[in-house]
Amino acid sequence: MITSILPTYSRALLTFVSGQGSWLVEEDGRRFLDLGAGIAVNALGHAHPALVKALGEQANALWHVSNLYNIPAQQKLADALVEQTFADTAFFTNSGTEACELAVKMARKYWHEKGQPERVEIITFSGSFHGRSSAGIAAAGSEKMTKGFGPLLPGFTHLEFGDHDALNAAATDKTAAILVEPIQGEGGIRPLPDACLKGLRDLCHQHGILMILDEVQCGMGRTGKLFAHEWAGVAPDIMMVAKGIGGGFPLGAVLATENAATGMTAGTHGSTYGGNPLACAVGAKVIEIVGDEAFLAEVNRKAALMRQKLEGLVAAHPDVFDAVRGAGLMLGLKCKATNTDVVAAGYGQGVLTVPAADNVVRLLPALTITDEEIATAVDLLDAAASQVKGADA
């Protein structure tokens, strides 16, 4: 008999009842060090006092009004994002998937407005993840996500991650946009080297192609800059944001230049909940905290500490781990043992990690994790690794 919750997830037998900072409490009282942060969502950890306060104040004042009216918290968040990024304008969604929907629509509408309506093709890459909607799965294109869900939304060209020749051949005057994650998350913490991101930007300029970056997972301070593409010194035309921006409250956004947003006039797009006062009150507080230079400097310092300790962990368990990869506090342990065995062993030791494709264990801690918690985390992972059957066993 089917479960009362549609069984699309295979869940661990863990029930968390409260959280504080980097820690979660299970209903049996055990404490878990959370290195998953709801998959890069709880950027400021659990129950951050400033976010609890912002949400509480907004909840007492007003929960919801339609986008038919001005929403001050939404205006505040949009202004902050425009001030701190490449973008001239922002649209708010409830999720990364919805941000993908608008990014695709916006890119196509742009070419329609420019009098080149045949320019609809969007280039994407193997191992990518852009959400679970019809556009999202068509964009990613993997069999795992698309099988049985056809007919798929047309107009996506899928290239092998890192195949420069294929990319040069595929970029034509039919190409509307290139859509890429600066660091693939679900794909297994696979960073696009800065030189490649620059090369992509040049290619886009050369053909007039719009560059869409999906920073749903790697954005909002996770890599030690507010957005990951800043490391490469390039800027996109359109960017998808979600996960960390709401700190745990459902919130996403599409950021765009004025040029890329050409054509997105009144009536062309909308959302009932997108930009809701509760979500934006929290989002405005998140960006106020994460966008601060001193905060980002701390993320970088702690990221270096964590990486160094993880290198030691890999060296200590050469039959379980292969390498550390990623950037900032978006780290992956490429495994030799089975990644899900490592995650399961972590549950036994009281540490939460997240599996990803390419046999990787993801570490996406709260950006507020302390030095002491980093040391504890690596000790717990060390204990977990000792329980795992290695590749040579």
Ligand X SMILES: *Cc1c(COP(=O)(O)O)cnc(C)c1O
Query: Considering beta carbons, is residue 121 or 214 the nearer one to ligand X?
Result: 214
Smallest separation (angstroms) from ligand X to the CB of 136:
7
Sequence-distant (≥ 6) Cβ neighbours of residue 356 within 8 angstroms? 185, 186, 187, 188, 189, 332, 339, 362
Residue 86 and residue 65: Cα distance in Å, rounded? 29
Smallest separation (angstroms) from ligand X to the CB of 180:
10
Residue 282 and residue 272: Cα distance in Å, rounded? 18
| 295 φ/ψ angles, rounded to the nearest 5 degrees | -65, -45
Name the H helices within the chain. Answer: 37-40, 49-61, 72-84, 96-113, 134-140, 143-146, 164-170, 194-207, 277-290, 293-316, 339-349, 371-387
Residues in the site for ligand X, rule: CB under 6 A?
95-97, 100, 129-131, 181, 185-186, 214, 216-217, 242-243
Residue 166 and residue 164: Cα distance in Å, rounded? 5
Query: Considering beta carbons, is residue 135 or 333 the nearer one to ligand X?
Result: 135
Query: Considering beta carbons, is residue 74 or 124 the nearer one to ligand X?
Result: 124
Smallest separation (angstroms) from ligand X to the CB of 187:
9
**Beta partners for residue 297, in sequence order:** none
Query: Considering beta carbons, is residue 96 or 275 the nearer one to ligand X?
Result: 96
Smallest separation (angstroms) from ligand X to the CB of 128:
8
**Beta partners for residue 19, in sequence order:** 24
Residue 345 and residue 383: Cα distance in Å, rounded? 8
Smallest separation (angstroms) from ligand X to the CB of 316:
30
Smallest separation (angstroms) from ligand X to the CB of 29:
31
Tokens at residue 145, please? 């996500």
| 106 φ/ψ angles, rounded to the nearest 5 degrees | -65, -45
Residue 64 and residue 234: Cα distance in Å, rounded? 37
By residue count, the chain amounts to: 393
- Looking at beta carbons, which residue is closest to ligand X? 96
Query: Considering beta carbons, is residue 132 or 207 the nearer one to ligand X?
Result: 132
Task: Tell me the CA distances in angstroms from 173 to 111, 120, 176, 179, 249, one per residue in order.
Answer: 11, 10, 8, 16, 40
Smallest separation (angstroms) from ligand X to the CB of 40:
7
Query: Considering beta carbons, is residue 240 or 303 the nearer one to ligand X?
Result: 240
Do 290 and 296 contact (CB within 8 A), yes or no? yes
Smallest separation (angstroms) from ligand X to the CB of 86:
18
Query: Considering beta carbons, is residue 128 or 336 the nearer one to ligand X?
Result: 128
Query: Considering beta carbons, is residue 186 or 373 the nearer one to ligand X?
Result: 186
